[in-house]
Amino acid sequence: MDVRSLRPGDPVSVGPYRILARLGAGGMGIVYFARSPGARPAALKVVRREFADDAGFRERFRREVAAARKVSGLYTAPVLDADADAPQPWFAAGYVPAPTLGEALASAGTLSEPAVRALGAGLAEALQAIHAAGLVHRDLKPGNVLLAEDGPRIIDFGIAKVTDATRLTGTDAMIGTLAYMAPEQITESRDAGPEADVFSLAGVLVYAATGAKPFGERDPATVLYEVMYEEPCLDGVPASLRGLLAACLAKEPSERPDLESVLAALTPVDPRALDSPALRREVAAREAEATRAVTEPVTPPPPTPRVDDGEAGKVGRRRILGLAAAVAVAGIGAGTTGWTLTRGRSAPAEPAPRGTALGTAPPPAWTFTPPRPVTGTSMVRVAGDVVLWGGGEEMYGVDARTGRRLWAHEKANPAYAGNLARGSTLVVIGGVIGDFDDRTITLVDVRSGEVANLPTPRAVRPSFVPGVAGDTILVRSPTDAWGLDLDSGEIRWHRSDEGLLSGAVDETGVYLSSDRSLAALDPVTGRDRWVHTWSGSGGGRDGASLDLAVAGGRLFGDFGDTLQAFDTASGKSLWTRNSDEQFDTVVTAGADVIFKHEVLRAYDQATGAPRWTLVAPEPFADHRGHLAAGDALVAAAFNEKEGPAQGVLVAGTDGRARWAHRGPAESQAGWEVAVSGSSVFATDHKRLYRFEAGR
């Protein structure tokens, strides 16, 4: 039996079950091979501590176990026992001595059409029983299907959902396995229902028939995009099954057939199509191995090694999550025993019906071409009815409605500009990029283009203007921050840190994040109003946020591996979300806050509840200028890291993508964007465009 030895810290027993070996680890917990008091083998899952500490998770766990008990063992590995109130909740399922579909396909190759039909009919019938019990599986994949002698079984209810319950957990992770996940599981704009299992069923059958996943094998962000917007690849699927599987893979849940229709389309089937002498030998070998394992003396887990206090905590949560692997609940291998399934060749089939692709951008409402090329990477901002656009040595004021040039100014780059001061004054650092001897601070009236240089003390060498709070300008370098008087340019206060600093402002406060702390400052005096200090051990909340956003009396950032929101007045933590990604940008959009990495993830500003996830044709580009949002629209630039694919994706603040504009940019950094009302302003660093988002 292909199991793993127990590790230091593994339990000797859980409830009445004796732990014999490890089967694997998944996102929700660790799976063990165990022995019941009556010497029966079982697959026992112990929930991870971070979920065990969530009372809402325990409640959902209890309800799901109760629902899973109603599903007959004819279709699943039956639930034998469970304890939702244990320090770490657990449940035990009957051990089914059978290979997973994934193991079978890896060993013997693809299935014949009769075998695919028999597999599909068995899984559809099993899903009917699961749904009748009030459950939605939400992670159907080849590793969660066992090929037992009496038909396929569906296993691993670790991330199932009770259909008649409200969402009880607070996890912000997408639930499911990317290659088989339905679009509604990705966006999180609605709870995934039974239709999501139909989508996953079709993906499993495509894989069984062709050996390929319907949405490719590339990096996760690309797979997510293809699931959302591209048609599935059904090359090699038998012609008689193509229409059915294409319908099951429809983007909209309402357009997919129900399980009764799927079952009717697959039947009648040959019940012997999935059976073979090799499968029977495999099952017999697994039964014998399981019997041996539960009757031999148990080898206890090794003792937990002593860890020196000075070394504790140096491996953070992100590293641990990055090393974790997903393993099926009852997927116990059988050593070197090989076996085959009956298979055949199908004639070439007609192309499958196409899926719903992402819409193409409308023609630009106007295009502004500068009299001479802008220098370097340009940035775009909107201030009322004026669009500010410029590169390293120039800035243009452009009428937002007509695209007409209003004014031009040399050596004032909006890339280094914060929010408007006194309604219409933009504060910029007016130096040529790379010229560290020119750090003049310039005030630009966005309506007239009139400029004035602010006297700047020699000690101040800023590289960015996070914004203006009242009459205090916040400027910073990578490791220093200064509060300057808006009228005189004099230094009001100065902060320095050994690590990198991030900053943000609102009407009444200045907020600085460093590797060691997050602080709210009085903008005039620079005195601390409140401070949160992170531990220095490399633990879960170390490290400065790469970006901060503030809106509605709340401050948002990604601190180490935790997304957090704070009350700006008191510093009270409003909510936290664990994450295994480092987000480089955070912006507010309507009632949500959006964090950007290679995908966008939106959360409710007030509660932190996950709202949606958005993917693009390529990973989203780095840094703040590539993402903009308003009350109704989100625009983000995507940029292939090693290739020419560039463009802009536009979506509503409900997370629904509207269209994409594809085209090369004059900078390797990709496109830059800004949003105002129903307009999206974008630049390829050669021209400035205005698009109307539409509906």
Q: How high is the pLDDT of residue 318?
A: 29
Domains and CATH numbers, the chain: 40-283 (1.10.510.10)
How far apart, in Å, are the Cα atoms of 351 and each of 205, 265, 348? 17, 19, 9
Cα 689–chain centre separation: 30
Residue-wise pLDDT tens digits, 635-678: 999 887 655 678 999 999 988 889 999 888 887 778 999 999 99
Higher local confidence (pLDDT), 334 or 142: 142
- Rounded Cα distance between 154 and 130, Å, is 9
Residues in the chain, total: 695
Torsions phi, psi for 143 (to 5 deg): -75, -15
Phi/psi at 70 (nearest 5 deg)?
-80, -15
Rounded CA separation 103/89 (Å): 29
Burial class (CB within 10 angstroms; exposed 0-12, middle 13-18, buried 19+) of 684: buried
Residue type for position 516: R
pLDDT over 70, % of the chain: 81
pTM of the predicted protein model: 0.67
Q: Cα torsion at 516, 521, 523, 525 (round to 10°)?
A: -100
In angstroms, rounded to a whole number, what is the distance separating the alpha carbons of residues 106 and 330? 17
For position 339, what pLDDT does the model report? Answer: 31
Round to whole Å and give the CA distance between 129 and 148: 17
**According to the model, what pLDDT value does residue 642 have?**
58
Catalytic residue ranges = 139
Least confident of 83-87, 129-133, 424-428: 424-428
pLDDT in tens, 439-465: 678 888 888 988 888 887 878 877 788
Question: Tens digit of pLDDT for each residue in 59-75?
Answer: 888 887 888 888 877 88
- Under a CB-based contact definition with an 8 Å cutoff, are residues 386 and 447 in contact? yes
For residue 651, the surrounding DSSP H or E stretch is strand 646-652
Q: For residues 486 and 490, give the distance between their C-alpha atoms in angstroms, rounded to a whole number.
A: 8
3-state SS string for 583-624: CCEEEEECCEEEEECCCEEEEECCCCCEEEEECCCCCECCCH
* Sequence letter at residue 28: M
Q: b/e per residue, 431-448, with b = 16+ CB within 10 A?
A: beeeeeeebebbbbbbbe
Cα 633 to Cα 627: distance, rounded to the nearest angstrom: 11
The angle formed by the CA atoms of residues 359, 364 and 367, to the nearest 5 degrees, is: 150
